[in-house]
Amino acid sequence: MARILVIGVGQIGSELGPALVEQGHEVVLADRLPPEETAGWDVLTKGMGEDGVRRRWHRLDVLDTPALTGLIREMRPDTTYHLAALLSATGEKDPDLCWRVNVETTRTVMSTLSKLGAATAPRLIVPSSIAAFGPLPGQTETPAVTPDLYPMLPTSMYGITKVVGELLGAYAAAKQGVDFRGLRFPGLLNTAPPGGGSSDFANLMYFAAAAGQREVEVFCRPDTTIPFMYMPDAIRAIIELAEAPAARLSRRTYNVAAMSPSAADIAAALAARVGPFDVRYVPDFRQAILDSWPRALDDAPARTDWGWQPRWDLAGMTDDLLAQLGWVPRA
Ligand code: SER
């Protein structure tokens, strides 16, 4: 049993928390909001019951540095998942806040962990993203299948903060005795609403279809193609990476991939199940962000080093997610 701190309980944390509790760990969930006001409340309570959520909940504004360092010093976690972040669309609306939340709190967590004087290097997992990549100068796209080692030239403030997080993590591992691990996630889908990402167009389509809507408007073109992953795969990936023996890791941050459907492919997968489903494509500022991202990630090092293997494809995810969202096929 490990002492595990999850900072930021949103779309990922609301499923990661119950999974870690299920494994028998001592888990503290820290978030700025009371649990019933978070997007993942339903997922959390389904996973560990209302009492289980409240018992483990710790109200924390990550920008309150004394509170953040105080919690870490008091708890002395073996493993910390730092998930508090502004995503790409919200980050573009307030780049300064995006930097403070995504970068400065990551620095604080790293330096606080490094000063705990723990016998074993405290483990720190911080997700990165497909948004860490961007086109080379003079080009408009990143390679169709982008490898781990490719120039990182993000165009969004969110992407910039993710690259900085990766670099700080490598530094903390080399110089500060923190066992940092990161993974570049695709757009993630589950029943919890995501918090202001550019990949949210896909989540919106699933939520609309499951609610019985016959049409939905999304903010991208139908040919928009980026990597996606179903949350059960993402939770397995982050836990597998956190638990992998250090000797197996050839780098600190890994690409992980599962599927790369276009927006039109997702619409077709939904229509095949729910019947006529009219998607109106009205691109906004998020289109440029989406266009700058890889269409697919090459995750060979994750597969080789720690055995990463996705289990969910578009068809399987569509069936399962519609059911999880309460969609009932018409008789
Ligand atoms: N889902 C994220 C976003 O859209 C990508 O990491 O910002």
Residue 328 pLDDT > 90:
no
% of the chain exceeding 70 in pLDDT = 99
CA of 195 to the centre of ligand 1 (A): 9
Give the pLDDT score at 195. 85
Q: What is the average per-residue pLDDT within 22-34? A: 98
Flag whether 98 is in a domain.
Answer: yes
The alpha carbon of 187 and the centre of ligand 1 are apart by a number of angstroms equal to: 5
In a domain, 327, yes or no: no
- Which ligand 1 atom is nearest residue 187's CA? 1
- Structural domain contains residue 276: no
Q: Which residue has the tokens 């609301």?
A: 14
Overall domain count for the chain: 1
Q: Is 3 helix (H, G, I), strand (E, B) or coil?
A: strand
Q: Among 158, 204, 218, 291, which is best to mutate for testing ligand 1, by the most ligand atoms less than 8 A from CB?
A: 158
Q: What is the pLDDT of residue 143?
A: 86
Q: What would the pLDDT profile of 74-120 be if each residue is shown by its tens digit?
A: 999 999 999 999 999 999 999 999 999 999 999 999 999 999 999 99
Output the CA torsion 161→167→172→173 (10° steps): 130
Q: Output the pLDDT for position 58.
A: 98
Band (pLDDT 50/70/90 cuts) for residue 225 is very high
158 part of the active site: yes
- Could you identify the residue written with the tokens 């494809």? 313
**Average pLDDT for 169-198:** 96
Ligand 1 atom closest to residue 188's alpha carbon, by position in its atom list:
1
pLDDT at 133 over 70: yes
**Alpha-carbon span 134 to 156, nearest angstrom:** 9
pLDDT at res. 245:
97
pLDDT value, residue 42: 93
CA within 13 Å, CB half, 264:
4
The whole-angstrom separation of Cα 195 and Cα 189 is: 12
Atom number, ligand 1, closest to the C-alpha of residue 200:
4
Could you tell me the distance, in angstroms and rounded to a whole number, from the CA of residue 91 to the centre of ligand 1?
10
What's the DSSP call for residue 255? E
- The answer to whether position 253 is within a domain reads yes
Q: How far apart are the first and last CA of the chain?
A: 47
pLDDT in tens, 275-297: 999 999 999 999 999 999 999 99
Smallest CA separation from ligand 1 atom 4, residue: 197
Per-position b or e across 206-218, b if 16+ CB within 10 A of its CB: bbbbbeeeeebeb
| Residue 282 covered by a domain | no
- The CATH number of the domain holding residue 116 is 3.40.50.720
pLDDT (tens digit, 9 = 90+) per residue, 38-53?
999 999 999 899 999 9
Spatial separation of the C-alpha atoms in residues 161 and 103, rounded to whole Å: 6
- Residue 180 Cβ < 6 Å to ligand 1: no
Domain assignment present for 243: yes
Type of residue at 153:
L
Residue 240 inside a domain? The answer is yes
pTM of the predicted protein model: 0.97
Cα–Cα dist 203/324, whole Å:
13
Of the residues 158, 206, 230, 254, only one is catalytic, namely 158
d(CA 194, CA 15): 12
Q: Could you tell me if residue 225 is inside a domain?
A: no
Tell me the three state secondary structure of residue 328: coil
| pLDDT confidence of residue 60 | 98
Q: Is the pLDDT of residue 330 over 90?
A: no
Q: Is the per-residue pLDDT at 194 higher than 90?
A: no
- Paired tokens of 117: 């004087």
**How does residue 192 score in pLDDT terms, banded at 50, 70 and 90?**
very high
Q: Ligand 1 pocket, 158 CB below 6 A?
A: yes
Distance of CA 86 to the CA centre of its chain: 11
Enclosing domain of residue 306: 85-190+230-258+296-311
Give CA–CA dist 164/107, Å, rounded: 10
With bands split at pLDDT 50, 70 and 90, how would you rate the model's confidence at 142?
Answer: confident
**Is pLDDT at 331 greater than 70 in this prediction?**
no
What confidence tens digit (pLDDT) does each residue in 226-279 have? 999 999 999 999 999 999 999 999 999 999 999 999 999 999 999 999 999 999
